[in-house]
Chain A
Amino acid sequence: MPGDERGVRSVERGSIGEDMSERYFPDGMPPPLADTTTLPWWQAAAEHRLVVQRCADCQATRLPPSPVCAECRSPEFDWKEVSGGGSVYTFTIVHRPIAADQALPFVIAVIALDDSGGIRMISNLVEVECDEVEVGMAVELVWEDMSEELALPRFRPRQS
């Protein structure tokens, strides 16, 4: 990928190279774009670890990754892995394609992540009937390997 001199480079997936996940979205979906601030999040995702950034001083969590803590302005941080459980905070069901060969409609949702210090993230709901989606629905994480080096977190109705 371009921009190696700025520290952005492709990453190695831990254990799953040969064992790719189920696919929900086509290859032509817009690719993630990263800079050096957000890159570690994508590297963790490639290893199927869903993380939030955590301030090393006040422990406030944040996402997307950013240079300083918006609560105490500390630049020190670490990464906290979350379980992947959560609930639907809000959603939209989209009837227009973003990429070629995309199944329609598809669900974009804001997911409130469990044990994350109150973090929400934008993602998709998969393995769900559109008319069953509702605010508050319990969901769980499912990784979609878009390629050997790119994995995206999606969510499905909680099964356990």
Chain B
Amino acid sequence: MSASRAQIVGVGESTYTRWGKIGDITEHALACQAIQRAVEDAGLSMDDVDGLASFAEDRNEAIFLAAELGLPALRFGNMVWMPGGGGGCAAVSNAAMAVETGQAEVVVVYRSLCQGQFYRFGSAGVSTEAPAEPAPPSLQQANSLLLASMGFAMPYGLLMAAAAYALPTRRHMHLYGTTSEQLGMLAVTFREHASRNPRAVMGGRPLSLEDHQASPMIADPHRLFDCCLESDGACAVVVTTPERARDLAKPAVEILASEQGAPKGYGFGPFTNANIADELYATGGCEEMAGRLWAKSGLGPADVDVAQLYDHFTGCVLMQLEDYGFCERGEGGPFIESGALAWEGGSLPTNTHGGSLSEAYIHGLNHVVEGVRSLRGESTSPVEGAEVCLVTSAACVPSSAVLLGKT
């Protein structure tokens, strides 16, 4: 244990449900609930919290949550630019930097999603209803850099994440012979992990490879069960200094290393990065960042006992396995097929909570929560003797990762 490295001392979450099922409480109220539970789990008081961190266009701004929660003083309010789920681990990293440099002492990282109260993810607010007063299609003003970039994707119908991330996955299949069955086995493995997790939205719904292969095609090669859930829920983790962590309620988990980033030209991932280097296209784009993570921690893929890998789509997990060096480039399919990711008997038990495919889709911050639980011995699929856990946030899009260690 390092004397200066930040630690995670508390985790908490709301109930997780299917998309649109939480309507009686606002998204920000749910954020407050998760934050309060995480602070309570840490054995701290809300009066101790002086920082809030989140990521990716969070609707629930820290300034308002600080007011709603009655924080005595907000010293650190921070949001990461990595898109979508790519910023989850980066938000933890920013919280760690804040406490390590004395900008704040107790920072809560949070995420709340009740997308049914807004619009469906992947529709960008676009309706499939015919308009009452149709106008001839015309060029429109882009009011942001994102929209100007998306101008080269949206007119072709590239709006759904399931379609965008299908593009690198299809290329991976072409280059390496990766199969839909290999992707399916990954989904089946994570569902099996969810079966022991009472928080998992799909915990009571067993999934077989046959079910996966029979599920409707959404955006080839993505079948329904290759896609993450769409969920309502919130979760939070509490980051503080090692001094502060020493006498708290539960064993702390150390943040051994954290990294964020994107390769050259990566932009908004497969929505906008058709021109990234050929050798990068059928990857998760995390290889360079993974190298930095290993170098900083002095550890390597062989040291990881359990992994919580961002699983927006099955193929993106497969490409991460290669990026982080758990197997050779192009070998992700056979690696999954070998049973490596299974809690029972696998060399790299992965997504022991069920992941976004089977626990809940909280933009991957629930993977950090599970990372902490897996090192505290609190996971419902516990990995005996686990000391190092890799948690990642997104792939095939600008992303981030943290390496957690048992204290």
Residues of A within 8 A of B (CB): 1-3, 6, 8, 10-11, 25, 27-35, 37-39, 42, 62-64, 70, 89-102, 105-106, 108, 110, 118-124, 135, 146-150, 152, 154
Contact = CB atoms under 8 A, between A and B. Distances in A.
Given A63-B152, A63-B275, A64-B272, A35 B219 contact: no
A120 B128 contact: no
B171 interface: yes
A34 B142 CA distance: 5
Interface string B275-294: 10000010000000000000
Contacts of B145: 35
A90 B396 CA distance: 14
B156 A108 contact: yes
A98 B141 contact: no
B141 A123 contact: no
- For B145, B147, B149, B152, the residue with the greatest tally of chain A CB atoms inside 10 Å of its CB is B152
Contact of A64 (B149, B217, B218): B149
A106 B217 CA distance: 12
Main secondary structure of the interface of A (DSSP, over half): loop
Contacts of A150: 136-139
B134 A33 contact: no
A69 to B, nearest CB: 12
B86 to A, nearest CB: 20
Q: Which 10 residue pairs of A and B lie closest in terms of their CB atoms, listed nearest first?
A: A3-B141, A92-B166, A33-B142, A147-B136, A146-B137, A100-B130, A93-B220, A90-B171, A30-B154, A33-B151
B166 to A, nearest CB: 4
A96 B160 contact: yes
13 contacts: A2-B141, A31-B154, A38-B152, A63-B274, A70-B264, A90-B168, A92-B163, A96-B219, A110-B167, A110-B274, A118-B275, A149-B138, A152-B155
B130 A28 contact: yes
B217 A93 contact: yes
A27 B134 contact: yes
Given A10-B138, A31-B139, A121-B274, 17 more contacts: A8-B139, A27-B136, A34-B139, A42-B139, A63-B275, A70-B264, A92-B167, A94-B220, A95-B220, A98-B157, A98-B160, A100-B130, A108-B156, A135-B174, A146-B137, A148-B136, A150-B139
Interface in B87-144: 124, 126, 128-131, 134, 136-143
A157 to B, nearest CB: 17
B150 interface: yes
A120 B220 CA distance: 20
B267 to A, nearest CB: 9
B151 A92 contact: no
Nearest to B264: A70
A90 B272 CA distance: 14
- For B140, B147, B159, B274, the residue with the greatest tally of chain A CB atoms inside 10 Å of its CB is B274
B158 interface: yes
